[in-house]
Structure 1
């Protein structure tokens, strides 16, 4: 259960405090130019240790491509990659190796596998998302051939919400803030939580543009269901909204429906997806992150024998996982769209006929 996608399949491996994190991308078409500088930049967007608003764990996060690329282009064979762990400090977890951290997956992983990898949560650690960003960067290089663009930014930190959406501004913000008018308040809320040895939740806004109509595979691999599944599979995500999302449950159909004229849709309340299939309009997603469960306050919990104990966590942790999580969500949406694009290429007989039409042969 470490693989996602249908036509474009991504498998990740590795643990937070192991040798490294890596992945295999299967199904990439041959001939995609692999821009390693672009991949490096994408990895640095996710990386910690760059400011006070993220974890101080700083990794080089250099992506080493092991297979599937020759002379700078994909070969059509599985693309393997590896990212070395170079800044893991397992000793930070020695004091909690026999207890379950509140809000973490420690208890449930132990119940499922009977093994307690206490070093940062092992496979359940958000460190695994480095592989998703690396794979997402490669998916973006593929999507670039179709002028499909994926962007992200921070909509909410706690109750402080952006009123103006500017993805270009978010690119240069330390917290990827979408609204310059509330950025300082959002930063202040993160620092207040950090200084109190606590954490705060947030909401990321992810948007894709240039999408052709027709992406999505009903009934059981709809575009929106695939988005929901992959986003909810990300550490710390508790809710996903597409288009109007929760607000649509409070509206009349006459207000929520996207009417049309000869130019197309007059609104985009559906978030670019109807019946599980893209409409051609921008896809808009809100991803809700819970507060980082690793906080530096005493908490009540159990040890592995079931005894009540006090938990005191040490280490390097994000005061708000939504900030770096927004980059991971952006990468995941790129992977979903790449997968759907490849699936859609074989959904019409006429498309197949163009590809496989008999060629005349002069003898």
Structure 2
């Protein structure tokens, strides 16, 4: 198993590196007759595209997707959907001086230990650029979910230790940060400029909600819906923690405070995040991902080279100050892939 595929029925397999010819993949298992076009996918790729905003890398990539198969006359055929995105603005020379040095916080050291050989240009397969293929796969999953009325919405909950004070879903698409609170944006901008000026980076928290998800999705006991969501989100390189519903706060509370009491009109609360016993309850799915700061710093850092000698490094090149906000559509995509897969699994059982 190479780890390049995700899903059991709705399957995304991806390929490509940060500084190679491009990235792409194949989606298998998508039902036929689903409306799909390059333009539909492109609008989500544009949300992830580099080179926008004060926190983003200056690398300019158009990220234009090309559908190679599986779509005819604007609809999926039910066969494998192939796609490709070219790399156009690589500057591999930026990495030539540090090709024999392990960058702190990156996968350089571990890739070398696993494979005995690695692509040092931007991290190769371990680069955050790999996520462009996830957005394409998630967009195809979203096209399928749209036919069922399922809506997925992700937004920045916290950036650089500054948390939103209110959530207005109507504000999210109006700003670059995907913020549900327009009043917090100036604070985030100031924080980014402050950190950028000293050569450092920021992390944050992204919340993802899925609406109109039917009850009954999940495969106990080892393939619960919440377990797969955590697996999917943790598979994104910058994510270091996942919460479902109330998450880690439940450890501080009593059972009477965390149980979602049932009435004849439904649940009175949603501390469980829409999942009970690993199966969707019909409530909104609520999940949060903790995103670490970008490890490529303008500051001098201590590390070792490939010979084990201690050295210092200042990482050059073009990098984001934070994976947020560009990671937001990536996390949306992963949730879409999970839900599409579980719906098709449930259909096989004949109960949905």
TM-score by length of 2: 0.98
Task: Tell me, in whole angstroms, the C-alpha distance in 2 between the residues paired with 1:331 and 1:70.
Answer: 23
Q: Distance in 2 between matches of 1:187 and 1:269?
A: 32
Alpha-carbon deviations, 1:12-50, whole Å to 9, x = none?
100000000101100001111113222111100001112
Distance of 2:106 and 2:138 partners within structure 1? 26
RMSD: 1.0
For 1:53 and 1:305, the matched residues in 2 are separated by 34
Deviation at 1:274, TM superposition (A): 0.5
The residue number in structure 2 matching 1:333 is 335
Aligned mates of 1:191, 1:275 — CA distance in 2: 44
What is the alpha-carbon distance in structure 1 between the residues aligned to residue 171 and residue 319 of structure 2?
Answer: 26
In structure 2, C-alpha distance between the alignment counterparts of 1:347 and 1:263, rounded to whole Å: 28
Deviation readout 1:311-337 (Å, 9 max, x if unpaired): 121111110113111110011101111
* 2-structure distance, mates of 1:204, 1:25: 26
Structure 2 residues not aligned, in runs of 5+: none
Report whether the alignment pairs 1:31 with 2:19: no
How many Å separate the matches in 2 of 1:65 and 1:110? Answer: 34
Pairing of 1:53-92 with structure 2 (within 5 A)? 53-92=55-94
| Offset from partner CA, 1:286-324 (integer Å, 9 cap, x none) | 100111000111111100000001112111111011311
SS in 2 for 1:346: helix
Q: Secondary structure at the match of 1:270?
A: coil
**Bigger Rg over Cα:** 1
Q: Aligned runs of 1:84-123 on 2, under 5 Å?
A: 84-123=86-125
* 1:248 paired residue number: 250
Tell me how far apart the structure 2 counterparts of residues 70 and 99 of structure 1 sit (CA, whole Å).
48
Counterpart-to-counterpart distance in 2, 1:335 and 1:302 = 38
**1:205-220 → structure 2 map (5 Å cutoff):** 205-220=207-222
Q: Counterpart of 1:186?
A: 188
Cα deviation for residue 347 of structure 1 reads 2.1
In structure 2, the partner of 1:297 is 299
Distance in 1, matches of 2:169 and 2:194, equals 25
List alignment gaps of at least 5 residues for structure 1. Answer: 352-363
TM-score (norm 1): 0.95
Q: CA deviation at 1:179?
A: 1.1
Alignment check: 8 A CA contact 1:215 1:340 kept: yes
| 2:326 pairs with one of 317, 324, 327 | 324
Partner of 1:151: 153
Shift of 1:117: 1.2
Q: State the 1:58 CA deviation.
A: 1.5
Specify the alignment match of 1:141 in structure 2.
143
- 1:20 corresponding residue in structure 2: 22
Tell me which residue corresponds to 2:127: 125
Q: Distance in 1 between matches of 2:297 and 2:174?
A: 28
Tell me how far 1:186 sits from its aligned partner: 1.4
Count of residues in Structure 1 that have an aligned counterpart in Structure 2: 350
Which of 159, 170, 175 does residue 168 from structure 1 map onto?
170
Question: Counterparts of 2:37 and 2:256 in 1: how far apart (Å)?
Answer: 47
1:215-267, Cα deviation, whole Å (9 max, x unpaired): 11111211100000110010111100010000011110000000011111110
- Check conservation: 2:15, 2:24, Cα contact below 8 A: yes
Distance 2:104 2:225 in 1: 34
SS at match of 1:228: helix
Out of 286, 289, 304, the residue aligned to residue 288 of structure 2 is 286
Deviation at 1:116, TM superposition (A): 2.7
**Structure 2 residue aligned with 1:226:** 228
**Aligned-pair CA distance for 1:178:** 1.9
Question: Which stretch of structure 1 is more off in the superposition, 251-260 or 65-74?
Answer: 65-74
